[in-house]
Amino acid sequence: MGLVADSGPAREALLDGEARFVERREVRFQDIDAAGIVFFPRLVEYLHDAYVAFLAARGCPLPPVLASGSWAAPIRHVEAEFLRPLRFGDSVEVALVGAAVRETEFTLGYRIAAGGRAAAIGRTLHVTVDRTSFRRIPLPEALAEALRTLG
Amino acid sequence: MGLVADSGPAREALLDGEARFVERREVRFQDIDAAGIVFFPRLVEYLHDAYVAFLAARGCPLPPVLASGSWAAPIRHVEAEFLRPLRFGDSVEVALVGAAVRETEFTLGYRIAAGGRAAAIGRTLHVTVDRTSFRRIPLPEALAEALRTLG
Amino acid sequence: MGLVADSGPAREALLDGEARFVERREVRFQDIDAAGIVFFPRLVEYLHDAYVAFLAARGCPLPPVLASGSWAAPIRHVEAEFLRPLRFGDSVEVALVGAAVRETEFTLGYRIAAGGRAAAIGRTLHVTVDRTSFRRIPLPEALAEALRTLG
Amino acid sequence: MGLVADSGPAREALLDGEARFVERREVRFQDIDAAGIVFFPRLVEYLHDAYVAFLAARGCPLPPVLASGSWAAPIRHVEAEFLRPLRFGDSVEVALVGAAVRETEFTLGYRIAAGGRAAAIGRTLHVTVDRTSFRRIPLPEALAEALRTLG
């Protein structure tokens, strides 16, 4: 059982579901660790990078929200499963493959693929809060609209 | 349900269980993100740093294993829950609070605390493999012995 | 006087010289530090990322060199000057703006620009060595050819 | 010639001068890059980490300055020379070995040593500015006092 109740995309959906947004990138020289493969927290960063790129592409870019917005969507829970090691120079596709939206939180599903095969899958659970009070608030409309494109 | 079957320490044990190994550190200047709090993958790194320090303290340091050993213990799954934001300069204690050891894998439980209160908890699932074939092997004795000190 | 003798592109050339290779990117959420601007070693990483991309684009990709090559080009010296702060979401162009090639080493010049204005400039000095003995060797031809395109 | 006029500690002083403040640390698993040695921008981070630790130890901790102070000391120039590769698990001493203080800026000198031998040396040039206007201001007294202990 996960650390928090999960209502996000199921494992099978992460492995095989349709990619709704894709960010292509290459494994960087410095993403490698002393074991010669990608350091796993770097892959967690890849998930967040795709989330940031997705929001920008769907009309809800984070920089102005952080500069002058009234809300934030901090991550409450993250989970990732690593299926195959990745190495320097590997071309990967980081995909958002689904979302589960609730009143004051949402879960996103991700798949990192290389050569057409899943190398990692993951989920992030975000809560929407007021920037000042840090109390939970309903999802802002611009964010909710962006998430609806994830099907 | 988590992405993989978990048999590690339960959420309550992570929150309240006895710390079996503790690494003290301060949140670094560069661990902060554009939202002004610690970037969550940095906390995942904190977990791994504590794991590396734990192995060194318990007679199974990783550097010689990586340099000339026959085994590796890559991470198959990671999960973390973030309870309170951390900021630059915060003093934190990263604790290993339990382990579940199986034949060819093990799960470690972690708690990051600041000011005596849990700020994050997490679990990592490692599989033990042969360095050359990448096939699963039983836990090497030095590793198994270190993990037994986690109770 | 710099820490090592510099024979690379002069400061004016870095500020105003023609960009010979450009990598476009956006400042990431996690590149920001506790002072709210890009943490300066991240900009040093940007320089190296552009170097890796440049070599790949010019027919001398590093991944196969590291996997099975006989040479390496470790960095002996780095220098960077920061002219304007960069913030989350800023679009930047990281340009290689010149090179100075000697028998067993080379210096590369860089400019990071945002909004058409230089935000940082830098230089890296690489030495070419044998992977096994770590002794200096003349520049491999594939590398020398790539560097010639920097004018 | 360096990118900006240097009036900081000379190269010989960095190599052989007395360490005025030392931070001990071990090379982390994730500080390694695809070439199997420490990624050089990580060593630049080590310099900054030592600077942050030095200020805290000398009565001028940065976190409250950033939270509510009126000044900042952004880095205008950094330079580092790498003498020997460092590997995962290496114990290193990061030392501040001198300072040159001017009216609205200061240069710090650093040495990273492993096994009693210098592995890298570096310098950072900071300018002191008003947090709001970003205009240069004389060094705040708490900062100037801390720097005087560097001789």
| DSSP state string for D100-121 | EE-SSEEEEEEEEEETTEEEEE
Instruction: Find the helix or strand (DSSP H, E) in which B64 lies.
Output: helix B62-68
pTM above 0.90, yes or no: yes
Mean pLDDT of B100-116: 97
- With contacts defined as CB-CB under 8 Å, which chain C residues touch D2? 1-3, 6, 79
Q: Which residues of D touch B28 (CB under 8 A)?
A: 49, 52
Whether residue B75 has pLDDT greater than 90: yes
Q: How many CA atoms lie within 13 A of B149 on its CB side?
A: 18
The answer to whether residue B31 scores a pLDDT higher than 90 is: yes
Pairing type for strands C75-82 and A129-130 reads unpaired
d(C-alpha C126, C-alpha C130), whole Å: 13
Quick check: D63 and B89 CB within 8 A? yes
Task: Please tell me what DSSP assigns to residue C34.
Answer: T
Neighbours of chain C (3+ CB pairs under 8 A): A, B, D
Amino acid at C64: P
List strand residue ranges (DSSP E) for chain D, in order. 21-26, 71-72, 75-82, 91-101, 105-114, 117-127, 129-130
Task: With beta carbons less than 8 A apart as the criterion, state whether B95 and B7 touch.
Answer: no
Identify any residues that bridge with A107 across adjacent strands, giving them in sequence order: A100, A125
Tokens 């050569």 locate to A115
pLDDT digit string (tens) for chain D, length 151 residues: 356 555 689 999 999 999 999 999 999 999 999 999 999 999 999 999 999 999 999 999 999 999 999 999 999 999 999 999 999 999 999 999 999 999 999 999 999 999 999 999 999 999 999 998 989 999 999 999 999 999 8
Span C66-70, average pLDDT: 93
For residue A1, pLDDT beyond 50: no
pLDDT number for residue C8: 83
CA–CA separation, A52 and A143 (whole Å):
12
> What gap in Å lies between CA D19 and CA D98, rounded to an integer?
8
Copy the structure tokens of residue A140: 């802002």
Q: How high does pLDDT run on average in chain B? A: 95
pLDDT bracket for residue A151 (50, 70, 90): confident
pLDDT at residue B2, as a whole number: 59
Which among A33, A37, A87, A90 is the top mutation candidate for probing chain D, defined by the most D β-carbons within 10 Å of its own β-carbon?
A: A33
> How many whole angstroms separate alpha carbon A93 and alpha carbon A119?
10
Hey, which residues does A101 pair with through a beta bridge?
A: A106
**Which residues fall within 8 angstroms of residue B31, CB to CB, at 6 or more apart?**
B38, B39, B42, B88
**Residue A1 sits at the chain B interface (C-beta within 8 Å):** yes
Q: Which chain A residue shows the shortest CA-CA distance from B121?
A: A3
Instruction: Inspect the interface and report whether the beta carbons of A63 and C89 lie closer than 8 Å.
Output: yes
Task: Give the pLDDT band (50/70/90) at residue A8.
Answer: confident
**pLDDT value for C1:** 38
In the predicted structure, residue C144 carries a pLDDT above the cut 70: yes
Residue range C101-129: mean pLDDT, rounded: 97
What whole-number distance in Å separates Cα of residue C54 and Cα of residue C59? 9
User: How much is the pLDDT for D4?
Assistant: 58
What number is the ipTM of this complex? 0.95
Task: Give CA–CA dist A45/B41, Å, rounded.
Answer: 6
To probe the interface with A, which of C28, C31, C32 has the most A CB atoms within 10 Å?
A: C28
Q: Please write the tens of the pLDDT for every residue from C11-30.
A: 999 999 999 999 999 999 99
A76 and chain B: CB distance < 8 Å anywhere?
A: yes
Q: Tell me the per-residue pLDDT of A101-130, one tens digit each, with 9 for 90 and over.
A: 999 999 999 999 999 999 999 999 999 999
Q: Do D88 and A30 touch (CB under 8 A)?
A: no
B48 touches chain D (CB under 8 A): yes
List Cβ<8 Å contacts ≥24 apart for C11-16. Answer: C11/C81, C11/C121, C11/D1, C11/D3, C13/C97, C13/C98, C13/C109, C14/C97, C14/C98, C14/C109, C14/C110, C14/C111, C14/C118, C14/C121, C14/C122, C14/C123, C14/D3, C15/C111, C15/C118, C15/C121
Q: Which of B29, B49, B87 sits opposite D52 (nearest CB)?
A: B29
Q: Rounded CA gap, B86 and C82, in Å? A: 28
DSSP state of B70: S
DSSP E strands, chain A: 21-26, 71-72, 75-82, 91-101, 105-114, 117-127, 129-130
* C88 contacts in chain A (CB < 8 Å): 62-63, 66
Residue C112: band (very low, low, confident or very high) from pLDDT cuts 50, 70, 90: very high
Minimal CA separation from C106 to chain D, in Å: 15
User: Do the chains contact at C37 and D74, CB–CB below 8 Å?
Assistant: yes
pLDDT, residue D151, reads: 84
**Residue for token digits 């809800």?**
A60
Q: Which residue has the tokens 């050339």?
A: C13
Between CA D143 and CA D34 the distance in angstroms is 39
A72-105 exposure pattern, b = at least 16 Cβ within 10 A, e = fewer: bbebbbbbbbbeebbbbbbebbbbbbbbbbeeeb
Q: Does C57 touch chain D (CB under 8 A)?
A: no
Joined tokens for residue D23: 């931070």
Chain C hits for A87, CB-CB cut-off 8 Å, are 63
What Rg do the C-alpha atoms of chain B give, in angstroms?
16
B43-67 residue pLDDT tens? 999 999 999 999 999 999 999 999 9
